[in-house]
Amino acid sequence: MRKDYSLPESVLGFLKVIGWLGVALGICAGIIMAFAMGTLLPIALAFGGVVSCVLLVAFAQIGSAQIDTAKSVSEMVEMMKRANAGLGQQDAPISTAKRAQPSSRIEHGETVHKGHRITSSGSLFVAMGEKFVSLDQARKFIDGLEN
């Protein structure tokens, strides 16, 4: 499910423009009024407006960062779904697991596939803490970790 963030992005972009215009107008107004009045008081008064506009820009940028984070998280979730879909239902582990590695035979009831030990436990095969109903499924799980 893809979210559409175009409206909040537009609103935040508009707020940034308004903020930067406020900063520019506040500085210009303070300087012009200071020369016209011959005192620095207008610059001090304009300073409050400039700071407020800078804060407006900062908050708009924080909002933009949150939208970027939401988009990135959504992309990561989609990538994880695609990766898990590659395992298929019959090959899916009973619980989650860590990373994998090369395939040779060892002792009774144990096999190494890509550097990961697969042991038989009753009628199940255990690889990296995950349980499978066949040795082939355990091997496919380890193969899927490298993709």
Residues 11 and 81 placed together within one structural domain of the fold: yes
Residues 130 and 78 in one domain: no
Same domain, 67 and 137: no
- Structural domain count of the chain: 2
For tokens 């989609």, name the residue.
78
CA triple 21-22-26, angle to 5 deg:
120
**pLDDT at 119 exceeding the cut of 80:** yes
Residue 116 sits in which domain range? 103-145
Task: Give the contacts of 55 (CB within 8 A, at least 6 positions apart).
Answer: none
Whether 15 is in a domain gets the answer yes
Q: Which residue has the higher pLDDT, 16 or 131?
A: 16
91 domain-assigned: no
- Per-residue pLDDT band for 93 (boundaries 50, 70, 90) equals low
For the chain, the average pLDDT equals 82
pTM for the whole thing?
Answer: 0.52
Residue 47 lies in a domain: yes
CA dist 87 and 142 (Å) reads 10
Is 94 a member of any domain? Answer: no
In this structure, what are the phi and psi dihedrals at residue 104, rounded to the nearest 5 degrees?
-145, 165
Mean pLDDT of 9-33: 95
Percent of the chain at pLDDT exceeding 70: 81
Q: Which two tokens stand for residue 111?
A: 């096999």
Q: How far apart are CA 123 and CA 57, in angstroms?
A: 63
